[in-house]
Amino acid sequence: MTGEKKPEWADPNHPENFSSIVRKGVENPSSDVFEKKQVRFKKKGSNVPNIDELYNGILAGERLHLARAITLIESNAEHHFRKAQELLQRLLPHTGKALRIGITGVPGAGKSTFIEAFGSFLTNQGLKVAVLAVDPSSNISGGSILGDKTRMEQLSRNPKAFIRPSPSSGKLGGVHRKTRETMLICEAAGFDVILVETVGVGQSEVIVREMVDFFMLLVLTGAGDELQGMKKGIMELADGVIVNKADGENKRNAEKTKREYNQVLHFLQPATKGWATKALTCSALLNEGIENVWTTVKTFENTTMESGVFEDRRRTQTKEWMRSMIIDQLQADFFYHPIVKELLPRFENEVISGSKTVTSAVESLFQNYFKSKQ
């Protein structure tokens, strides 16, 4: 963000070790701004916003309320979690109308440039676009691959667009729950297209695939090498493979890569029943081929809606979501339980030293856990 810097006492050689930032202040805040700030969500003695106010604000498409509701969803505090669930329950009838699109690709494939171009194209068509992110790195390192650089500057200033960085996980369900619920809130706020971005590493593609209608993989030229091994699994999740950076000297190469992908895709299991996954080219930088991507997504939507696959997938996704939440909650309940916290390290040591078998340790843990619940 412009106007942000590290405080002067941070080590200038390693500013990344210091997480605080200093923001540039407002030089002459008008009394109007000041007053508005003070009155919003004012509720003495409580930092939980008023649910009625959020509900009405979100349905009216108010950004501030939307952002506030998402913060509530992302909070790891139990009372925020309950409030967020109450809000979601009320908003549920207003959800489900957006087209949900997942976008993945290795770092450098051009995801943010593409989202900037694609998002701007969509807003020019009069559509409202929300961009969410699932960043696997934020769980592991506390840092983030997606969030740290200045990204999508144009789109972030666009009044028809809303960009939200990746939430971090926590004990009340991980990134999966938070992103799905954020998506629902954005739908209630009237967004027509939800773009869910993720980095092409590890599990996060599968998580995103499970929450979107159309999943696209952004790739670079040189498919030959990649197709040897790594991409096959991801390609079987994709409804569209977009060869980006098809410009300048790279254009011919990109066309060749597209043909190679199309040949390979032909032999793979399609991600969506009744839809042959296609490879396309585009230049996110020069805004070329972007409309073609949208046409493909719309054709996909029409085809799968007609066949019933679209609704089928959404139903399955909701069921899967419920199951994964049950697993999340069971896990959290178990591992955060005081008796488990106390016994687990001891049992682990006993297992490692060979004085207890894994099976008997697990059995004994569960016995203690269930006994303490009675």
Which residue number, 285 or 325, has a Cβ lying nearer to ligand GDP? 285
Taking the least distance from each CB to ligand GDP, the nearer of 107 and 224 is 107
Q: Which residues contact 176 (CB under 8 A, 6 or more apart)?
A: 134, 207, 210, 211, 321, 324, 328
Site string for ligand GDP, 247-266 (x = CB under 6 A): x-------------------
Binding letters toward ligand GDP, positions 266-305, x by CB under 6 A = -----------------xxx--------------------
Residues near 280 by Cβ (< 8 Å), separated by ≥ 6?
Answer: 240, 241, 242, 243, 258, 289, 292, 293, 296
Choosing from 29, 108, 143, 233, the residue that interacts with ligand GDP (CB under 6 A) is 108
| 77 near ligand GDP, judged by CB under 6 A | no
Per CB under 6 A, 200 contacts ligand GDP: no
**Residue 112 lies near ligand GDP (rule: CB under 6 A):** yes
Residue closest to ligand GDP, measured at CB: 110
**Rounded Cα gap, residues 73 and 88, in angstroms:** 9
Shortest CB 266 distance to ligand GDP, Å: 26
Q: Does 111 bind ligand GDP (CB under 6 A)?
A: yes
Task: Give CA torsion, residues 168, 173, 176, 182, to 10 deg.
Answer: -80
Contact status, residue 233 vs residue 206, Cβ threshold 8 Å: no
Given phi > 0 = left and psi -120 to 50 = alpha, else beta, which region is 108?
Answer: left
Residue from 109, 122, 188, 297 touching ligand GDP (CB under 6 A): that is: 109
Segment contacting ligand GDP (CB under 6 A): 4-12, 72-80, 242-250, 255-263? 242-250
Does residue number 107 form part of the binding site for ligand GDP (CB under 6 A)?
A: yes
Cβ of residue 218: shortest distance to ligand GDP, in angstroms?
7
Examine residue 152 and tell whether it contacts ligand GDP (CB under 6 A). Answer: no
Size of the site for ligand GDP (CB under 6 A): 14
Using the rule CB under 6 A, is 87 a contact of ligand GDP?
A: no
Closest CB 281 distance from ligand GDP, rounded Å: 10
Of 50-58, 78-86, 110-118, 353-361, the segment contacting ligand GDP by CB under 6 A is: 110-118
Q: Where are the alpha helices (DSSP H) in 40-195?
A: 51-59, 63-74, 78-91, 111-124, 136-140, 153-157, 175-188
Site for ligand GDP in 24-53 (CB under 6 A): none
Contacts of 220-227 with C-beta under 8 Å, sequence gap 24+, read: 220/106, 220/108, 220/109, 220/110, 220/244, 220/245, 220/257, 221/245, 221/250, 221/253, 221/254, 221/256, 221/257, 222/253, 222/257, 223/257, 223/260, 223/261, 223/264, 224/257, 224/260, 227/260, 227/261, 227/264
Positions touching ligand GDP (CB under 6 A) are: 105, 107-113, 244-245, 247, 283-285
